Amino acid sequence: MNDDYLWDKTGEPDPQIQQLEEILGTFRYQPRPLVLPQKRNYFPLLAIAASLLLALLAGAIWLRVRPHSEAPKQQANIAEPATPKPIETPKSPEVRSASNQPLLAPKRIHKPRSASSVLPAREREEALMAKEQLMIALRLTTEKLHLVHTRTQPNQIKNQHRVG
């Protein structure tokens, strides 16, 4: 048998090999062009569009049906506060040093708050409660951050080895 015939079909063929080629010839590779199906399946796109349409429709119905709890409209009453006279405190004698410079700064005269800046008792209590809640939250956050810091930082003394 000549091996050249098996590789490049040069040389003398073997009769058994020719018989096998004839039997298996129907299964030989035959090149043909790629044929793509022309019909497109639009079902997934239609399903996505329908679900989006249903979600928008449900949202619109919910916005129209839900009860509106509107707060009553409030209007600010603008009234000019009466300008009170500044309270004058009796002046204390200035204490001066040996170089004739005052040791104590004179007291400042504070203007009293206007009536519009003072909160009513109920609003003041709410503000104080909100401040307390904020302070508790900040303390808790600080403690948690400290705990995370101590757990993530290695103890440097424990991990050091003795030298010598």
Question: Which range in 58-67, 74-83, 85-94 is most confidently predicted, on average pLDDT?
Answer: 58-67
Predicted confidence at residue 50, as pLDDT, reads 95
Q: Model pTM greater than 0.75? A: no
- What DSSP designation does 162 have? P
Predicted confidence at residue 132, as pLDDT, reads 92
pLDDT range class, residue 131, cuts 50, 70, 90 = very high
Mean pLDDT, rounded, for 121-130:
88
Mean pLDDT, rounded, for 116-133:
83
pLDDT per residue as tens digits for the range 4-58: 777 787 878 888 888 988 898 888 888 889 888 778 888 888 999 999 999 999 9
Predicted confidence at residue 53, as pLDDT, reads 95
Mean pLDDT, rounded, for 141-160:
77
Using CB atoms within 10 Å of the CB of residue 5, give its burial: 0 to 12 exposed, 13 to 18 middle, 19+ buried.
middle
Q: What single string gives the DSSP state of each residue in 70-137?
A: PPPP------PPP-PPPPPPPPPPPPB-TTS-BSSPPPPPPPPPPTTTSPPHHHHHHHHHHHHHHHHH
- Is the predicted pLDDT of residue 75 greater than 80, yes or no? no
- Is the predicted pLDDT of residue 134 greater than 70, yes or no? yes
Phi-psi region of 11 (alpha: psi -120 to 50; beta: other; left: phi over 0): left
